[in-house]
Amino acid sequence: MARIRNRRKPVAEMNVVPYIDVMLVLLVIFMVTAPMLNQGVKVDLPKVSSEALPQDNDSQVLTISIKADKTYYWNIGSEVDTETQQAKASTLPEMTRAVTAIMSENSRQGKKVQVFVRGDKAVDYGAVMAAMGGLQTAGVGNVGLITEAP
Looking only at the bridges linking them, the beta strands covering 60-66 and 113-119 are parallel
Return the CATH number at 140.
3.30.420.270
Decide if 150 is inside a domain. Answer: no
Structure confidence by residue, pLDDT tens digits, 104-125 = 888 888 888 888 888 887 888 8
User: pLDDT tens-digit profile of 30-88?
Assistant: 998 887 765 554 544 445 566 666 666 667 788 888 888 888 888 887 776 666 667 77
Burial readout 91-116 (b: 16 or more C-beta within 10 A, e: otherwise): ebeebbebbbebbeebeeeeeebbbb
Examine residue 46 and state whether it is found in any structural domain, yes or no.
no
Q: Is residue 111 part of a domain?
A: yes
Range of the domain at 65: 60-145
Residue 10, domain member (yes or no): no
- For the question of whether the overall pTM of this predicted structure is more than 0.75, the answer is no
- pLDDT on residue 42: 54
Count up the domains in the chain and report the number: 1
pLDDT at 24: 95
